[in-house]
């Protein structure tokens, strides 16, 4: 394939959820590749021992979202994105409303469950950027980066290589449950918001009656997002992800973990 055909635009991967919240988690690549600026190039290998493996559960698997995150800090180095078979994790729903206008995904413990996810291999600078975007170093941040070890979480690459584990971002607010107490699965932003709004009169009062209204109001009012997060708890919609035991405070500046950055202003 010519390089001109490997632009995110040509591949249908150019729209980022941060700009189009109802598209969350954004378009994922059809296969592994090297995100290099606005292009997704072929990969020459699946394992990158000089980098840190991070499981992308939501929009971190969207090349356009990753490109935006890096651009905010002037980071231009390429990012290997490797499609993987993951056993032991599910994709749940974060129990917080993002100031970007959506309700994001969070990993949940799911013994025996198998999913196709992406591992992004990050260098120290890139890892610090993603940590900052998730609030991983902030006392009141939405996520904590945690090492998810094998065999509890099995991460298997296309060539059969099994990683000893990978990092994941565990939500500090917990996750939404499905009414039975089990974590709700994330069906995509529009159906999720439709279900949540139908189920809560107070949520409709705060955010409107349609997914479009929800996104617009959330993006315009950070305090409203915080109130939505509190409402999830008040209406007893929240349960544990099952991964809390892995979430530890990250050491700033340790080898291979990256240094702490402040979140970008937005």
Question: pLDDT tens digits, residue range 196-253?
Answer: 999 999 999 999 999 999 999 999 899 999 999 999 999 999 999 999 999 963 443 3
Of 67, 256, 240, 59, nearest to 167 by C-alpha is: 256
pLDDT at 220: 86
Burial of 41 (0-12, 13-18, 19+ CB in 10 A): middle
Q: Is residue 260, in this structure, part of any structural domain at all?
A: no
In degrees and rounded to multiples of 5, residue 208 shows phi and psi of 95, 180
Per-chain mean pLDDT for the chain: 92
Q: Is residue 258, in this structure, part of any structural domain at all?
A: no
| Whether residue 42 has pLDDT greater than 50 | yes
* Residue that wins the pLDDT comparison between 137 and 226: 226
| 168-183: average pLDDT | 96
Residue 167: CA atoms inside 13 Å, Cβ hemisphere, count? 24
Residue for token pair 């994922």: 28
> What is the domain range of residue 224?
3-246
Q: Which CATH number do you get for residue 28?
A: 3.10.490.10
pLDDT at 4: 65
Cα 61 versus chain centre, distance: 7
Tallying the residues shown for the chain, one arrives at 266
| Whether residue 114 has pLDDT greater than 90 | yes
Q: Is residue 254, in this structure, part of any structural domain at all?
A: no
- Distance between CA atoms of residues 58 and 25, nearest Å: 5
| Whether residue 135 has pLDDT greater than 80 | yes
Q: Is residue 62, in this structure, part of any structural domain at all?
A: yes
Beta bridge partners of 7: 39
DSSP state of 185: B
DSSP state of 132: H
- Distance between CA atoms of residues 134 and 105, nearest Å: 12
Q: Is residue 266, in this structure, part of any structural domain at all?
A: no
Q: Is residue 163, in this structure, part of any structural domain at all?
A: yes
Q: 10 Å Cβ neighbour count for 119? A: 27
Number of domains observed in the structure of the chain:
1
| Whether residue 46 has pLDDT greater than 80 | yes
pLDDT at 248: 66
pLDDT at 206: 98
pLDDT at 1: 58
pLDDT band at 266 (very low <50, low <70, confident <90, very high): very low
Q: Is residue 29, in this structure, part of any structural domain at all?
A: yes
Do residues 43 and 35 touch, judged by C-beta distance below 8 A? no
The tokens describing 187, both together, are 């069906």
Of 16, 13, 17, 15, nearest to 218 by C-alpha is: 17
pLDDT at 3: 62
% residues pLDDT > 70 (the chain): 91
Of 122, 197, 223, 138, nearest to 172 by C-alpha is: 138
Of 166, 159, 145, 187, nearest to 87 by C-alpha is: 166
pLDDT band at 258 (very low <50, low <70, confident <90, very high): very low
- Distance between CA atoms of residues 108 and 198, nearest Å: 24
Q: 10 Å Cβ neighbour count for 251? A: 10
pLDDT at 251: 40
- Distance between CA atoms of residues 42 and 106, nearest Å: 28
pLDDT at 2: 62
Determine the 3-state secondary structure of 82 from DSSP: strand
| Whether residue 130 has pLDDT greater than 70 | yes
Q: Is residue 256, in this structure, part of any structural domain at all?
A: no
Burial of 88 (0-12, 13-18, 19+ CB in 10 A): buried
């Amino acid at each position: 394939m010519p390089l001109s055909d490997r632009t995110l635009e040509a591949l249908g991967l150019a729209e980022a959820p941060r700009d189009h919240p109802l598209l969350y988690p954004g378009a994922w690549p059809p296969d592994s590749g090297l995100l290099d600026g606005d292009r997704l190039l072929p990969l020459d290998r699946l394992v990158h021992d000089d980098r840190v493996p991070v499981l992308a559960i939501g929009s971190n698997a969207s090349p356009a979202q990753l490109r935006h995150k890096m651009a905010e800090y002037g980071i231009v180095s390429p990012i290997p994105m490797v499609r993987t078979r993951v056993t032991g994790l599910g994709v749940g729903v974060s129990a917080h409303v993002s100031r970007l206008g959506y309700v994001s995904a969070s990993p949940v413990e799911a013994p025996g469950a198998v999913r196709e996810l992406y591992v992004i291999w990050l260098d120290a600078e890139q890892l610090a950027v993603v940590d900052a975007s998730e609030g991983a170093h902030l006392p009141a941040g939405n996520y904590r980066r945690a090492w998810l070890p094998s065999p509890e979480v099995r991460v298997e690459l296309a060539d059969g290589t099994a990683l000893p584990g990978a990092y994941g971002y565990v939500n500090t607010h917990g996750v939404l449950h499905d009414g039975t107490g089990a974590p709700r699965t994330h069906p995509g932003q529009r159906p999720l918001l439709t279900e949540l709004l139908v189920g809560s009169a107070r949520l409709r009062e705060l955010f409107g009656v349609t997914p479009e209204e929800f996104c617009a109001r959330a993006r315009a009012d950070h305090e409203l997002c915080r109130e939505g997060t509190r409402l999830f708890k008040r209406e007893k919609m929240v349960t544990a992800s099952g991964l809390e035991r892995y979430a530890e405070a990250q050491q700033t500046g340790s080898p291979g973990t990256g240094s702490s950055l402040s979140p970008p202003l937005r």
